[in-house]
Amino acid sequence: MCAPVDPRVARRYLLKRRLGKGGLAYGIVWKAVDRRTGEVVAIKKIFDAFRDKTDAQRTFREITLLQEFGEHPNIISLLDVIRAENDRDIYLVFECMDTDLNAVIRKGGLLQDVHVRSIFSQLLRATRFLHSGHIVHRDQKPSNVLLGADCTVKLCDFGLARSLRDLPEGPEGQALTEYVATRWYRAPEVLLSSHR
């Protein structure tokens, strides 16, 4: 399992397999089973979540935004937040999805036009919902679009999301950086809102 798991997490959840790892040793995600309920979940361990201001902001944003918007059918549900005994790491427990859009695209040949339309429609609904709350995700990419076997879409990873509500209007409103996320990719809403 690579990274050690906090005892209180191991008591409650049986880790099945690693699903992924975040960039720059930011975190790791496992598929797990809740020992009490039998529910299959995804557990994201964020290493040293509050080591500096940037990491603390990302962790705080992800938790608060998911608590606020997680009831939407196309946004991943945050089920629990568990503080590690070392007071540095934090565990986020999510509903578990089958795969992500990046894996489906890489596999090739799985998506028909009807799937593409459904995925795109659900992703637009999630984006519209966030924008109605004056939130921009800023990291919408295929690996952050989770998919269920029935083609259900859930948008995840809100660490780079920002509120537009508190930004001043006019030229002084240029508070959002355009250089976020991965080096070779810019989320559409980052490019389209670059004038802000």
Q: For position 70, what pLDDT does the model report?
A: 78
Q: For position 4, what pLDDT does the model report?
A: 80
Distance in angstroms (rounded) separating the CA atoms of residues 78 and 192: 28
87 noted as active-site residue:
no
Residues of the chain with CATH 1.10.510.10: 99-192
Using one digit for the tens of pLDDT, what is the confidence trace for 150-165?
Answer: 999 999 999 888 888 7
Q: For position 1, what pLDDT does the model report?
A: 43
Q: What's the pTM?
A: 0.84
3-state secondary structure 4-52: CCCHHHHHHEEEEEEEEECHHHCEEEEEEEECCCCCEEEEEEECCCCCC
Q: For position 41, what pLDDT does the model report?
A: 98
- CATH number for 99-192: choose from 1.10.510.10, 3.10.105.10, 2.40.100.10, 3.40.50.720: 1.10.510.10
CATH number for the segment(s) 7-95 = 3.30.200.20
Choosing from 89, 100, 139, 157, which is the catalytic residue?
139
pLDDT less than 50: residues of the chain: 1, 24, 196
- Cβ 76 vs Cβ 94: under 8 Å: yes
Q: For position 192, what pLDDT does the model report?
A: 63
Residues of the chain with CATH 3.30.200.20: 7-95
Q: For position 89, what pLDDT does the model report?
A: 93
